Amino acid sequence: MSTLAEISTPTDESPPTEADILIVGAGPAGLYGAYYAGFRGLRVAVMDVLPQPGGQITAMYPEKPILDIAGLPSVRGRDLVDDLVAQAAPYGPEYLLGHQAVELSYDDGLPVVRSAQGATVRAGAVVVTGGIGTFTPRPLPAARAFEGRGLVYFVRHLADHTDQDIVIAGGGDSAFDWADSLVPLARSVTLVHRRDRFRAHAATVDRVRDAGVEILVNSAVTAASGTDGLETVQVTHLPDGTTRELKAQTLIAALGFTADLGPLLGWGLELRSRRIAVGTDMATNLPRVYAAGDITDYPGKVRLIAVGFGEVATAVNNAATVIDPEAELFPGHSTDGPAERK
């Protein structure tokens, strides 16, 4: 199986890349698009600002069990990414990781995308699968001095927190998912939320309660202390101002994040609710530019990884007929016969 470490990334000095399809975004939809375009016999390049594939999954919840992928009752985030990379690997997609797509122009009618790091890709079509765009965690000012010394925004490896006292700030899905995953490993887990209502799935909230996680509502983390690293956090009960000190070697700030389409806003794409508007063929308003996954919007849109898989296949198939007008919109199923591999 191909692993993330085996993927090579072109340097800034590499010559311009020529591709049939450039996929902008290496999250699940983009990686599946790399496989599907390869299956169709198309040369593929994949560009992403992050230094490794996986998008939000790799950056935010690599250890989280994902439950809504068809045919997989449960799959860990990092395992899903590894499998998607392995699925595309036989077709040799070229990865430009750590490259932010900033500029779109046209050369003889074909889209040309330049990255902030100096890479250039000339393609027959572009498929944007950038998820929610660039995402930045919402800060926790009371503990900002402990970033890298106990304060984290994402849990990348559950085992790193074995036998620790952990405080989680937040009341959404991420906060409760981390609590649910960490409680078997940690010495203690305490969840702190500013309100008495939660945005997380009710079943997860019940499971966390039943596991014995202490949940402090109407409360906030208002201070943190420690010598070499985080040792304690102060929690204030907001209605009456009373405080409580908790031991903590790790403080997880699961307060959400802000998203920004960044340079894509300058491409001239039609937006709907700050997402890219597409038609049923996943085409945007720009020639030879398609989009798929969470970054798109259309009436009835449902944002699931499973939906993104179907959307990117639709985008690739429609792009293929623009690249080659004699190509069939639907090339057949992968089970119809052996696909030609490069």
Q: Is 61 annotated as a binding residue?
A: yes
Domain 139-255 in CATH 1.10.3720.10:
no
328/320 Cα distance (integer angstroms):
8
Q: Where are the domains of the chain?
A: 4-135+258-336, 139-255
Q: Is 206 annotated as a binding residue?
A: no
The angle, 0 to 180 degrees and rounded to 10, between the axes of the packed helices 28-39 and 77-88 is 20
CATH superfamily entry for domain 4-135+258-336: FAD/NAD(P)-binding domain (3.50.50.60)
Q: Is 56 annotated as a binding residue?
A: yes
> Which residues, in sequence order, are bridge partners of residue 191?
168, 215
Write out the chain's pLDDT in tens, 342 residues: 344 445 656 555 667 899 999 999 999 999 999 999 999 999 999 999 888 898 888 777 777 788 889 999 999 888 999 999 999 999 999 999 989 999 999 999 999 999 999 999 999 999 999 876 566 778 899 999 999 899 998 887 889 999 999 999 999 988 998 899 899 999 999 999 999 999 988 988 999 999 999 999 999 999 999 999 999 999 999 999 999 999 999 999 999 876 667 888 899 999 998 899 999 999 999 999 999 999 999 999 999 999 999 999 999 999 999 999 998 887 877 766 544 444
Q: Is 101 annotated as a binding residue?
A: yes
Report whether 210 contacts 234 (CB < 8 A). no
Domain pair 4-135+258-336 / 139-255, same fold: yes
61/65 Cα distance (integer angstroms):
9
This prediction has a pTM of 0.74
What is the Cα gyration radius of the chain?
A: 22
Q: Is 294 annotated as a binding residue?
A: yes
Query: What residue has token string 């925004």?
Result: 153
